[in-house]
Amino acid sequence: MQNNEKNYYEILQIVQGANPKEIEDAYRKARGLYSEGNMAVYSLYTAEERKEKLAQLESIFETLMDPAKRSAYDSTLRGRRDNIPQASEKVVDLNSVNAGKDIFEEYTEVGAFKDKISFKQPLLVMESTDPMIAEKYRILYTKIEQISLKNSYKTFAITSAVKGEGKTMTALNLSYVIATEFKKKVLLIEGDFRNPSISSNYLDMGRLYGLVDVIKGEIDLRSAINRLEGTNLYFLPARCSVKNSSVLLDSPHMKTVLDSVKEDFDYVIVDSPPILPLVDMNILSKSVDALMLIVRAGKTPKDLVKKAINSLPKHNLMGIVLNGAAEHMMKYSY
């Protein structure tokens, strides 16, 4: 067994001293990830790949439930004990805390503030008198979904060449439409640490912590995620601006956050920093599946758009969204 391979306990997300009931519960939950009922994960694998995963889980379960086989297996883990969760360690499972309960549901602790979140003012897609606005976001989502299903994309960074092109409003409206109209479980992450405008301009936040605190190791991930009540839309705010944004974005903790939330959400959308003149977006582009560039019609110089595109990795640039086009052009195009 190579050191970079997960052992049986890590695969089932249990401690090495787990009892038979804990092993069986973890095994059944793991099998459920590859069932048709969990479409977020189910759709990412072919029938043959799901068959292999289930066969592996069956073999793990058989080994750990047989005392003799388990003892023999445990003896092979010597020298790798630093990688094995021990009974005294807390194993965080982002798929669920209690059976049938969403890990990110709002909760109340004795004497604690009950988390609430709301928009300071309605989004365009929520109350616009022009039905074409919401329709264009629906069309944008269907295009994203087609690309995602083909390439198994789940995490997207929405960016722009420079600030002021509407990337944050695009991220907010798109996330809302996907979560409320298409019933997908969506997490919107505030990844623009230098200018966290979602926290400051658009949302009334309940939690006192955010992504910056998670990356610094000061708070757990669950305690930083907010849910818009009555919807499948969740937020992971930055909560505060920072000067060393590139250091935080390039940290292993940021990569761990993105890897973790992919397991629990259908789509993860990151409102990202502008590409120019900072290096933040170039760092973040390495941690997401795909990039979406927002360009404001009639404002962004062509040479800046070209420069921004040339600075991004071509393999995951999924497309460009033209924002703020003239009304007569939109009708003609439609």
Cβ neighbours of 295 (radius 10 Å)? 22
- Residue at token pair 């110089």: 301
Q: Where are the beta strands (DSSP E) in the chain?
A: 118-119, 155-160, 186-190, 203-204, 226-227, 233-236, 267-271, 290-296, 317-323
Going by C-beta distance under 8 Å and a sequence separation of 6 or more, which residues neighbour residue 87? 15, 16, 17, 18
Claim: this prediction has a pTM higher than 0.85: no
pLDDT at 332: 39
Residue type, 178: I
pLDDT at 86: 41
Residues of the chain with CATH 1.10.287.110: 8-83
Any idea which architecture 118-333 has in CATH?
A: 3-Layer(aba) Sandwich (3.40)
Superfamily of structural domain 8-83: DnaJ domain (1.10.287.110)
C-alpha–C-alpha distance, residues 212 and 220, integer Å = 11
Q: What is the pLDDT along the chain (334 residues), one digit of tens a residue?
A: 444 467 888 888 788 888 888 899 888 888 877 766 544 444 455 778 778 888 899 999 999 999 889 888 888 886 554 444 444 333 344 443 334 445 555 443 433 334 567 888 889 898 767 778 889 999 999 999 999 888 889 999 999 888 888 899 999 999 999 999 999 999 999 998 888 888 888 888 655 678 988 888 888 888 788 888 888 999 999 888 888 788 888 888 888 899 889 888 999 999 988 887 777 787 888 889 999 999 988 777 888 888 888 887 777 888 888 887 765 444 434 3
C-alpha–C-alpha distance, residues 188 and 225, integer Å = 10
C-alpha–C-alpha distance, residues 261 and 288, integer Å = 12
CA 31 to chain centre: 22
Do 233 and 143 meet the contact criterion of CB atoms below 8 Å apart?
no
Of 89, 67, 63, nearest in space to 8 by CA: 63
pLDDT at 3: 42
118-119 vs 203-204, strand pairing mode = antiparallel
Structural tokens at position 83: 């990688």
Residues of the chain with CATH 3.40.50.300: 118-333
Do 195 and 237 meet the contact criterion of CB atoms below 8 Å apart?
no
Do 278 and 235 meet the contact criterion of CB atoms below 8 Å apart?
no
Structural tokens at position 221: 């991930």
DSSP codes joined into one string, 168-220: HHHHHHHHHHHHHTS---EEEEE--TT--HIIIIIEE---S--HHHHHTTSS-
pLDDT at 131: 79
pLDDT at 76: 84
pLDDT at 138: 92
pLDDT at 282: 78
